[in-house]
Structure 1
Amino acid sequence: MAGLSYIEEEKFLDAVCTAARLKHPNIVALKGYCLEHGQHLLVYEYVRSLTLEDALHSDAYKPLSLAIRLQIALGVAQGLDYLHSTSPPVAHGNLKSANILLDENLVPHICDCGLTILRPLTSNKIKARASEIAIREAGYYSPNHGKPGTNSSTESDIFAYGVLLLELLTGREPFDGSRPKEEQYLAQWASSRLHDSKTLEQMVDPAIQKTFSSKALSRYADILSLCLQPVKEFRPPMSEIAESIASFMQRLNVTYGAAADGNGPDPLERSFRTTTTHFVASPTLSYVSA
Structure 2
Amino acid sequence: LDENRMRKRLAREIYVWAALDHPNILKLLGFAFENGRPCLVSPWCGNGTLQEYLRKYPDVDRRQLVRQTSEGLEYLHAQTAPIIHGDFTTANVLVTDDHIAKICDFGGARRDEEARTGLTTAGLEFTNIRYTAPEILQGSSTPSVRSDVYSFACVALETMTGKSPFWKTEKDIGVIQKVLKDKLTPSQEDHPGLEDADMWDLLRRCWNHEPSDRPT
TM bracket, shorter-chain basis: 0.7 to 0.9
Do the aligned partners of residues 11 and 180 (structure 1) sit closer, same or farther apart at CA in structure 2, a change above 3 Å counting?
A: closer
| 1:42 partner SS | strand
Distance 1:10 1:143, change over 3 A: closer
> Is the CA contact 1:138–1:175 (under 8 Å) kept in the aligned structure 2?
no
Aligned amino acid, residue 48 of structure 2 = L
The equivalent residue for 1:176 is 167
* SS class of match (2:197): helix
Same amino acid, percent of matched pairs: 25
**Residue 89 of structure 1, CA deviation:** 1.1
Q: 2:192 aligns with which of 199, 204, 223?
A: 204
The equivalences for 1:133-144 within 5 A come to: 137-144=128-135
Distance (whole Å) between structure 1 residues aligned to residue 2 and residue 47 of structure 2: 26
Counterpart code for 1:140 = Y
Aligned partner of residue 145 in structure 1, secondary structure: helix
CA offset digits 1:19-73 (Å, max 9, x no partner): 10000000101011136875322111222242111233x4xx35234xx110000
Q: Point out where structure 2 has 5 or more consecutive residues left out of the alignment.
A: 111-123
How far apart, in 2, do the equivalents of 1:2 and 1:85 lie? 33
Partner of residue 116, structure 1: 108
Q: What's the counterpart of residue 37 of structure 2? A: 39
Deviation at 1:13, TM superposition (A): 2.7
Query: Structure 1 residues 17 and 180, CA, compared in 2 at 3 Å: closer, same or farther?
Result: closer
- Does residue 106 of the first structure (1) align with residue 94 of the second (2)? no
TM-score, normalised to structure 1, is 0.57
CA distance in 2, matches of 1:23, 1:32: 14
1:228 aligns with 2:216: no
Deviations 1:226-284 (A, max 9, x none): 111111111111xxxxxxxxxxxxxxxxxxxxxxxxxxxxxxxxxxxxxxxxxxxxxxx
The 1:3/1:96 distance shift into structure 2, 3 A limit, reads closer
Q: Indicate the RMSD between aligned Cα atoms, in angstroms.
A: 3.5
Judging changes above 3 Å, is the alpha-carbon distance between structure 1 residues 3 and 184 closer, same or farther for their aligned structure 2 residues? closer
Q: Aligned AA for 2:28?
A: L
Find the aligned partners of 2:130 and 2:81 in 1 and give their Cα distance. 28
- Give distance in 2, aligned partners of 1:13 and 1:88: 18
Q: 1-side partners of 2:165 and 2:159: how far apart? A: 10
User: Which of 146, 150, 154 does residue 145 from structure 2 map onto?
Assistant: 154
- Is the 1:2–1:38 contact (alpha carbons within 8 Å) kept by the matching residues of 2? no
For structure 1, the residue ranges without an aligned partner over 5 or more in a row are: 119-129, 238-290
Offset of 1:193 from its aligned partner? 4.5
1:83 corresponds in structure 2 to 76
Instruction: Give the secondary-structure state (helix, strand or coil) at the position aligned to 2:29.
Output: strand
1:4 offset after TM fit, Å?
A: 3.1
2:28, 2:41 within 8 Å by CA — same for their partners in 1?
A: yes
Q: Which has the larger radius of gyration?
A: 1
* 1-structure distance, mates of 2:200, 2:76: 24
Query: Quick check: 45-54 or 222-231, which moved more?
Result: 45-54
**Moved runs in structure 1, 4+ residues, more than 6 A?**
178-181
> In structure 2, what is the Cα distance between the partners aligned to 1:70 and 1:190?
25
- Separation in 2 of the partners of 1:231 and 1:140? 16
Q: Secondary structure of 1:109's partner?
A: strand
Matched-pair contact (CA < 8 Å) for 1:2–1:39: no
**Partner residue in 1 for 2:115:** none
For the pair 1:145 / 2:124, whether they are aligned, the reply is no
State the SS of the aligned residue for 2:86: coil
What displacement does 1:140 show?
A: 0.3
**Aligned residue number for residue 11 of structure 2:** 13
